Amino acid sequence: MGALSSTPYDILGAKKTDNDYQLRLAYRARIHEYKKDRLQNPTNRNVAAENFRLICRAYETLSDHDKRKKYDQDEEWIRNIPLNEYTLQQLAAEPELAKQFKIRLQNVTLRDINAQDSRTGHTALYCAARACNVEAVNYLTEQGAEPDLAQRTGSTALHVSAFYGHPEIVRCLLESGADYRIKNRGKSTAEDESSDADVKQMFTDLKTTPFVQAAADQLDWFKTNISNITQHIDEQYHVQRQTLLHCASKKGYMDLVCWLVEKRSANLDIVDINSNSALHLAAYGGHESVVEYLLNRGANPLLLNKWCMTAEQEGFIHDKKITDLFQSMREQDMFDMAVKGIDWWFEYYFGDKSPDTVNDKGINLLYLACRYGQTLVAKCLLEKGANVNIRLLKESESTPLHGAVYNGHVSTVDLLLSYRADVNIKNKYGSTPIDDARTDEMRQILKQYRANLDGNKFFSVYLFGDGAQSGNEPLAKVQLHYDATYNDLVQEM
């Protein structure tokens, strides 16, 4: 079969009269012979890697109508290709080249991994799946390769693995998020393409699992079966360590995303094996509605994935339609965010703005947050250095503590007091926060705080000698009031 005189038809085990489908059957038979042979002890193998390489070149020639026509006319075809000239797809098609394949994939982007041949539309994953190159398929799916990209006839990697009879590849693809519903140009699903009993059983078994159903957008299935699902909603599935929300966001399944977040409280910011969040995957996929939804629910836009990319940066490939959504979030009215209590906005989008910013009415951010009892926003502003005693520039000249006390926000008052808010400041009307308290509970909180301050107005001063006679022990200890002077210290001594 490897002899120089062998024709592509001889090598493939095909006839000159064979049509495309018959050529595929011949290639499938050769792949299964090679697959079976690779299970043997190396000393007992019959199909050398070089022979399978010729099979690949023969099929490349005969499956391409132009190349086949040229061979039939001139008997010219490309028998050998230098390894450094292999495409990623050609490397993926030969299991013996797994090491070289992984080296080629070092430092490439997801876009490179998902690149499609300009003529056939084949991806590296498609070619690896067809040849049952398990190592390459596993590696590609770990890197986040997209299993649903269709080649020129509309078939996906799942279609070709099913047609070629590789149940182990079918499992890997379904568990990496392949959509079993996709039909090719012949109106066939991947399951329809299979004639292998083991492959059909694999579909039957895996279509009962949550992740595979999420990949197929089966919201009704989830609503019906949720009580029978034993896994936590944030379970990280299979080798990619992706949650159901990852899967739904990656594919743009808006209704399923909403259900997972709103009805099942799915965590927005879990990252997968490549450190991608659901927001990363939605942005990379160009799913505007999902990206906008996740942003409005507070998904963290600052997370970096394996390639040190934010979700916004992953969306650059879609011109401005994704990045504009992130810019819109940054441009939200900060005062409105404070009133509504959108604490994550201040964490993710506030940037280097001053936490003491005031609006055109002289009202500062901290006052608004405290006035409306938005304790988490107030905490965020204080952590960013906001002045806890900042006053309104107009009208009452009240402090944030005045606003929180008057409106009865106990947790906000507790926060302000923990940052040593001054309970004695008077506003324009001569009122302290205690004067503005409208409940006994609030008055008691403030009075107790002030009493504690009064009780802590003394501090200790230790006087030491030169150490020659007294050693490390102090010569004297005196208690001084917080407003004591130097003369008071001398007098105590």
Provide the pLDDT for residue 296. 98
3-state DSSP assignment of residue 307: coil
Q: Which of 63, 80, 97 is the last residue of a domain?
A: 80
Opening angle at CA 55, ends 51 and 60, nearest 5: 145
Q: What is d(CA 214, CA 251) in angstroms, rounded to the nearest whole number?
A: 9
Full-model pTM: 0.84
Residues in the chain: 493
- 139 domain residue, yes or no: no
Q: Tell me, yes or no, whether 23 lies in a domain.
A: yes
**Would you say residue 286 lies in a domain?**
yes
Q: Does residue 117 carry a pLDDT above 60? A: yes
Between CA 91 and CA 86 the distance in angstroms is 6
Alpha carbons 346 and 172: distance in angstroms, whole number = 41
**Where a domain ends, among 23, 54, 80?**
80
Angle separating helix axes 20-37 and 49-63, nearest 10 degrees: 170
Give yes or no: residues 35 and 55 share one domain.
Answer: yes
Q: What is the pLDDT of residues 424-476, one digit of tens each?
A: 999 999 999 999 999 999 999 999 999 888 765 655 677 777 666 656 667 77
Q: What is the mean pLDDT of residues 210-233?
A: 97
267 and 379 in one domain?
Answer: no
Question: Mean per-residue pLDDT for 326-351?
Answer: 98
Residues 274 and 343 in one domain: no
How far apart CA 281 and CA 275 sit, in angstroms, is 10
Q: What average pLDDT does the segment 154-175 reach?
A: 98
Residue 377 lies in a domain: yes
The mean per-residue pLDDT over the stretch 69-74 comes to 95
* Mean pLDDT taken over the chain: 93
Helix/strand/coil percent split, the chain, to 5: 50, 5, 45
Q: Rounded to an integer, what distance in angstroms lies between the CA atom of residue 294 and that of residue 322?
A: 12
pLDDT digits (tens, 9 = 90+) for 287-326: 999 999 999 999 999 999 999 999 999 999 999 999 999 9
For residues 342 and 457, the model is more confident at: 342
Asked whether residue 299 falls in the same domain as residue 390, the answer is no
Pair 412, 371 in one domain: yes
Please state the φ and ψ torsions of residue 231, each to the nearest 5 degrees: -75, 145
Q: At which residue do the structure tokens 């503590």 appear?
A: 401
Give me the pLDDT at residue 453, please: 81
Task: Please say which residue of 308, 330, 352 terminates a domain.
Answer: 330
How many domains in the chain? Answer: 4
CATH of residue 338: 1.25.40.20
In a domain? residue 450: yes
Closest by Cα among 294, 288, 372 to 338? 372
C-alpha span between 410 and 417 (Å, rounded): 10
DSSP state of 242: B
In this structure, is residue 483 part of a structural domain?
Answer: yes
Residues 478 and 406 in one domain: no
pLDDT digits (tens, 9 = 90+) for 11-47: 999 999 999 999 999 999 999 999 999 988 888 888 8
Burial class, 28, CB count within 10 angstroms (exposed 0-12 / middle 13-18 / buried 19+) = middle
- Residue 162: inside a domain, yes or no? no
45 occurs within a structural domain: yes
Quick one: 384 and 484 in the same domain?
no
pLDDT at 488: 66
Domain harbouring 56, CATH code: 1.10.287.110
Higher pLDDT, 9 or 451: 9
Task: Give mean pLDDT, residues 472-485.
Answer: 65
One domain, residues 252 and 313: yes
DSSP string, 66-105: HHHHHHHHH--------GGG--HHHHHT-GGGHHHHHHHT
Structural domain boundaries, residue 275: 214-330
Q: Do 264 and 221 belong together in one domain?
A: yes
Residues 287 and 253 in one domain: yes
DSSP lists the bridge partners of residue 480 as 459
Domain co-membership, 305 together with 389: no
Residues 365 and 444 in one domain: yes
Asked if 368 and 401 touch (Cβ cutoff 8 Å), the reply is no
- In whole angstroms, give the CA distance from residue 201 to residue 207: 10
Encoding tokens for residue 166?
A: 């590789």
The phi-psi region of residue 209 (left if phi > 0; otherwise alpha if psi is between -120 and 50; otherwise beta) is beta
Dihedral sign (CA 384, 301, 290, 170) = negative
Residue 98 identity: A
**pLDDT at res. 5:** 61
The predicted pLDDT at position 2 comes to: 45
Question: Contact at 8 Å (CB) between 377 and 415?
Answer: no
In this prediction, residue 1 carries a pLDDT of 43
Residue 130 φ/ψ, nearest 5 degrees: -65, -40
**Residue range 203-227: mean pLDDT, rounded:** 97
